Chains A and B, each alone.
Chain A
Amino acid sequence: MGDLVPYLKELLSLPGLSGHEAPVMDVVRRAWAPLSDEQRVSRMGSLEALRKGRGDPEQDAGASRPRPSILLAAHMDAIGMMVTAVVDGWLSFTQIGGVDPRVLPGQPVLVHGREPLPGIVVQGPDFLAPEDVHGRPHPLERLWVDVGRTAEETARLVRPGDLISYDTQPAELSGELISGHTLDNRASVAAVTHCLEILSRRIHDADVWAVATVQEEVSFGGGYTSAFGIRPDLAIAIDVCQAQGPGTSEAHIPHLGRGAVVGKGPNIHPYIQRALVRVAEEMEIPFLSRGMAAHSGTDAYPMQVTAGGIPTGVISIPLRYMHTPVEVVSLKDIRRVGRLLAEFITRLDRAFVDNITWDDEP
């Protein structure tokens, strides 16, 4: 996938905050359209692209049973902020998704008002604050965004409810790393794109539904609704997970650049997990196993309990500095996740789906 970097940089340069994913969806649709047979937008706003498997049961007498179907869910929404008040030209704001206020002062942002307004998140001087916060981080509700316009112009162009997105430029770091503000979870969108590209050169039985879901960071709304609408035989959530880095050295946290992370835990059907590991081993795709003890924090959480229940798996891309404007992932890991998905799907047939069972079933 030679053009992964420019595509990813384009994804990382776009807003698309939870509930307002349209700007990024257009770019995903452009990438997925030539790789799929149909595309549609769910009522919730998720992009759903179908790449059909081999054989049509309605026309092909030999294929009497429906093709297996798999849903790949990568959420395309991003964390950010939203204007709560316009006070004499200063914008106060709240967060959409989890934002540590300590990374905000001095950040370039884009305020999506009546026109896009470049701005800065600012922390006022301590002398304007009570003494107990002097020298300390000011809380989110006491930070401002300054768009550099006059008070009158700001009042005309901005109102409560307007979105504020990070505006840091993506950067390629040494050693095939990339940095940017929405790698959570645009890195996974790129991995699914990579998977579709590989599949376009393969023969596969399964219908593949690539879904760029919405509102994962807030409510998992896209995961619930697309899983219901598509009702696949199985589903895999592709998301990012914490990676080792400065200040983050707990032994259970995976390293960057050492492979796809295959999740194991209650949100994950053990049959799917074992199959993913088997394929990674067989194809010598570097991978790491990781326990996800309760809530996986991915779209597997909603998809698993959709309708009568859907067997799910989780594949993650390790990421440093999550929810900051300088998230970092390894391009190698993105490619490995795409390849692991493609190899898994290439092997997916009706028999696999029929055999999805719990260990203790007879």
Chain B
Amino acid sequence: MTDTSLLKHAPQIGAEAIALLEQLSNASGVSGDEGAVRALVLEQVRPLADSARVDALGNVIAFKAGTQGDARPKVMLAAHMDEVGLMISADDGDGLFQFQVVGGIDARQLAGKAVLVGKARIPGVIGARAIHLTSPEERRNTIPLSTLRIDVGPGEAASRVEPGDRAAFATRFRHSGPSLMGKALDNRLGVATLIELLRAAPENIDLTCVFTTQEEIGLRGAGAAAYSVQPDFAIAVDSTPANDLPAWDGTENARYNTRLGYGPAIYSYDRGTISDPRLVRWLARTGEEYGIPFQMRQPGGGGTDAGAIHQQRAGVPSVSVSVPGRYPHTAILLARLEDWQNTVRLLWVALRAMPEGLLAEE
């Protein structure tokens, strides 16, 4: 019989953690330009960790040694700091700029959005030709990216914008009822999860929390970090789509990937990784024994930093756990506070109650 009293000690997501998530979500951190998010992360982790450093790729690597025993497992948790967004590609004059997409954003998600350009967060908008001037035929087709512009106005701000500058959606974070809404909750939810776990670091492990860069454009940061960290095993903590909407024809939607409100999603298999089955079993068993809701992410496309981490050096046993979120890679993602809380709880309890010989040969 499992002693579930451990649950009482798991980190609770309160108003402070939500306020931090809000700051993280509102910060701009388009892949390769994660500086504003990195600054927030460093501010948080420096007082919590034994050491915190920034590597050549801009990853933040924060280490905290345990205090129990002397052969503690070395665990790496990875959460990417970057978000999908836009990059200025050309100056059309009069405050109008052409742009490209960074990461996987559907062109159907761009028209009519407010954005913030560059480190100075210059306000801009992506407009669309007025409905009055379009034909019904035209409205059946996606507005091509090549015709969209970021409009910052013709004043002096335009002179401070140049090709290569990133732009992020200007969406402001909201907490409404049981839900959280924000532009970059993929993956600031993971970032905030790691910070909460570092704050309550389990004494039985040596914990390295890695806040990675450039995940959205090909898992670029995580591999190098795993190389330097050399963990015994790794968990990528991310956000995964909840495609749990109704089908047009009323048939059952059996391809939802994950469902909101069903708890953290444990990965068995995605485009980049076959999760280490020992780690999958361990996490699922923890959920069952401690009564923490979880769901198995439907096997399929998509991927996490685990895809890069598990192939480092001679191999790193890896698994991913994600907070489900609706509408990822759009201007607003919607997640459930309860799912986030259960993600933090599952990971903390699993690590704190980690069985000996977890990775022994089977």
In-complex Cβ contact of A246 among B96, B109, B243 (8 A): B96
B207 contacts the other chain (Cβ, under 8 Å)? no
Proximity string of chain A (89-128) to chain B, C-beta cutoff 8 Å, 1 when within and 0 when not: 0100000001111111111100000000110101111011
Contact A90:B177 (CB < 8 A) given known A136-B142, A320-B151: no
A64 contacts the other chain (Cβ, under 8 Å)? no
- A106 and B177 contacting across the interface, CB-CB below 8 Å: no
- B108 and A102 contacting across the interface, CB-CB below 8 Å: yes
- A247 and B129 contacting across the interface, CB-CB below 8 Å: yes
In-complex Cβ contact of A103 among B95, B112, B141, B149 (8 A): B112
CB distance from B229 to the nearest CB of A (A): 35
CB distance from A194 to the nearest CB of B (A): 21
A324 contacts the other chain (Cβ, under 8 Å)? yes
B194 contacts the other chain (Cβ, under 8 Å)? no
- A105 and B108 contacting across the interface, CB-CB below 8 Å: yes
CB distance from A30 to the nearest CB of B (A): 26
- B112 and A148 contacting across the interface, CB-CB below 8 Å: no
CB distance from A128 to the nearest CB of B (A): 4
A27 contacts the other chain (Cβ, under 8 Å)? no
In-complex Cβ contact of B332 among A102, A108, A248 (8 A): A108
- A328 and B176 contacting across the interface, CB-CB below 8 Å: no
Nearest residue, chain B, Cβ from A135: B142
Nearest residue, chain A, Cβ from B150: A246
- A177 and B248 contacting across the interface, CB-CB below 8 Å: no
CB distance from B94 to the nearest CB of A (A): 9
A265 contacts the other chain (Cβ, under 8 Å)? no
Taken together as a complex, chains A and B put the C-alpha atoms of A323 and B158 apart, in Å, by 25
CB distance from B299 to the nearest CB of A (A): 15
- A248 and B129 contacting across the interface, CB-CB below 8 Å: yes
Taken together as a complex, chains A and B put the C-alpha atoms of A125 and B142 apart, in Å, by 15
- B139 and A137 contacting across the interface, CB-CB below 8 Å: yes
Nearest residue, chain A, Cβ from B129: A247
Chain B residue contacts of A122, Cβ below 8 A:
245, 326-327, 330
Contact A168:B127 (CB < 8 A) given known A146-B334, A246-B148, A246-B149: no
In-complex Cβ contact of B151 among A153, A325, A328 (8 A): A328
Interface size (A, Cβ < 8 Å)?
Answer: 62
A84 contacts the other chain (Cβ, under 8 Å)? no
In-complex Cβ contact of A326 among B95, B109, B127, B172 (8 A): B127
Chain A residue contacts of B157, Cβ below 8 A:
173-175
CB distance from B46 to the nearest CB of A (A): 33
- A102 and B139 contacting across the interface, CB-CB below 8 Å: yes
Q: Which of B110-141 contact A (CB under 8 A)?
A: 111-114, 122-134, 139-141
A209 contacts the other chain (Cβ, under 8 Å)? no
A37 contacts the other chain (Cβ, under 8 Å)? no
B1 contacts the other chain (Cβ, under 8 Å)? no
In-complex Cβ contact of B123 among A124, A125, A172 (8 A): A172
Contact A102:B247 (CB < 8 A) given known A128-B253, A172-B123, A174-B154: no
B156 contacts the other chain (Cβ, under 8 Å)? yes
- B176 and A148 contacting across the interface, CB-CB below 8 Å: yes
- B171 and A108 contacting across the interface, CB-CB below 8 Å: yes
A33 contacts the other chain (Cβ, under 8 Å)? no
Taken together as a complex, chains A and B put the C-alpha atoms of A11 and B238 apart, in Å, by 40
Chain B residue contacts of A128, Cβ below 8 A:
243, 245-248, 253
In-complex Cβ contact of A105 among B109, B122, B133 (8 A): B109
Chain A residue contacts of B167, Cβ below 8 A:
none
- A120 and B327 contacting across the interface, CB-CB below 8 Å: yes
CB distance from B314 to the nearest CB of A (A): 38
Taken together as a complex, chains A and B put the C-alpha atoms of A149 and B131 apart, in Å, by 32
B102 contacts the other chain (Cβ, under 8 Å)? no
Taken together as a complex, chains A and B put the C-alpha atoms of A107 and B169 apart, in Å, by 11
Chain A residue contacts of B124, Cβ below 8 A:
173
Proximity string of chain B (288-332) to chain A, C-beta cutoff 8 Å, 1 when within and 0 when not: 000000000000000000000000000000000000001100111
Taken together as a complex, chains A and B put the C-alpha atoms of A174 and B109 apart, in Å, by 24
- A88 and B112 contacting across the interface, CB-CB below 8 Å: no
- B139 and A100 contacting across the interface, CB-CB below 8 Å: yes
CB distance from B312 to the nearest CB of A (A): 33
Taken together as a complex, chains A and B put the C-alpha atoms of A98 and B131 apart, in Å, by 7
Chain B residue contacts of A327, Cβ below 8 A:
127
- B170 and A322 contacting across the interface, CB-CB below 8 Å: no
Nearest residue, chain B, Cβ from A175: B155
Taken together as a complex, chains A and B put the C-alpha atoms of A104 and B170 apart, in Å, by 16
Q: Which 8 A-B pairs have the closest CB atoms?
A: A175-B155, A148-B179, A321-B127, A174-B157, A103-B112, A174-B155, A173-B153, A322-B130
Besides A174-B156, A320-B151, 9 more A-B contacts (Cβ < 8 Å) are: A118-B174, A135-B142, A137-B140, A172-B123, A174-B95, A247-B147, A321-B128, A323-B130, A326-B112
Residue pairs across A and B with Cβ atoms less than 8 A apart, 27 shown, are: A102-B111, A103-B111, A105-B330, A106-B331, A118-B176, A122-B327, A125-B245, A128-B248, A128-B253, A137-B139, A144-B245, A147-B176, A148-B179, A149-B177, A149-B179, A169-B172, A171-B114, A174-B155, A175-B153, A320-B151, A322-B130, A323-B132, A324-B111, A324-B127, A324-B128, A326-B127, A327-B127
